[in-house]
Structure 1
Amino acid sequence: MDTIILKNIRLYAYHGCLDEEARIGSDYSVNLEIETNFDKSRKTDELEDTVDYVHLNKIVREEMTIRSKLLEHVADRILKRLFDEIKEVSRAEISVSKLNPPIEGDVESVTIRIAESR
């Protein structure tokens, strides 16, 4: 299998269980790794013969705008859309990080990671 990685997609969103998170929002970082097959695109050099990473980024950005209480929920929505919209994706792994989360102490980020295969 071949891999496409989108690393450190930076976004501002409004996820979280606290009311203040819905009002104020927070910075997030998303990493996405998908497995697909590059056999055809390696020969043809045509975009339609591969997975377009612009489409991958669009899915992440659109789903991150929809408020969720839990990072697990938003990550699951992103994975579902990837598999629904891009049949060439055989496996995907996503990590969503909330930067400077509102928890006691000096914590740089909180991250969840989910992986799924077809």
Structure 2
Amino acid sequence: MTDLIKVQRIAVYAFHGVMEEEAKLGQKFFISLTVEADLSKAGTTDNLDYTINYAKLTELAIHIATQQRFQLVEALAEAIATQVLDAFPLAHSIGVEIEKPSAPIQATFDTVSVTIFRKRTGS
């Protein structure tokens, strides 16, 4: 059984990037999370204790993105994935997408993004 909790395009203003200007000026990022978990007990009991609270999931992602600085969005995604799996034992796996719509690229584009997928070890 595969059940998913998704939180899509959480907007944060942060200072990630390799370039010095990115560290000084910052920019907007979007974070999307897809968590795989067995939600059947939550569905049958209507009890928050048997699911992953998406408000807390969102708060954790925002905290990591705004309180730490990374040169690479890959490292930001990895930090979020690791901490989500540590904080939410019900989570079997997580997908983290980081969008960087103002990446310093000399081209016209909508966004650049990195998506990673991680599974809980030993499950």
Instruction: Give me the TM-score of the superposition, normalised by structure 2.
Output: 0.92
CA deviation map 1:68-94 (0-9, x unaligned):
000000100001101111110001101
Give, in whole Å, the separation in 2 of the partners of 1:100 and 1:16: 11
Paired position in structure 2 for 1:84: 86
Structure 2 gaps, min length 5: none
Percent of residue pairs identical: 28
Paired position in structure 2 for 1:11: 12
Query: 4+ residue stretches of structure 1 with deviation over 3 A?
Result: none
Paired position in structure 1 for 2:61: 60
CA deviation map 1:11-64 (0-9, x unaligned):
111000011101100111111100001111111111111110011101110110
Amino acid paired to 1:56: L
Amino acid paired to 2:12: L
Aligned residues: 118
Question: CA contact under 8 A between 1:101 and 1:107: conserved in structure 2?
Answer: no
Deviation of 1:107 (Å): 2.4
Question: CA contact under 8 A between 1:10 and 1:30: conserved in structure 2?
Answer: yes
Paired position in structure 2 for 1:43: 44
Deviation of 1:108 (Å): 2.1
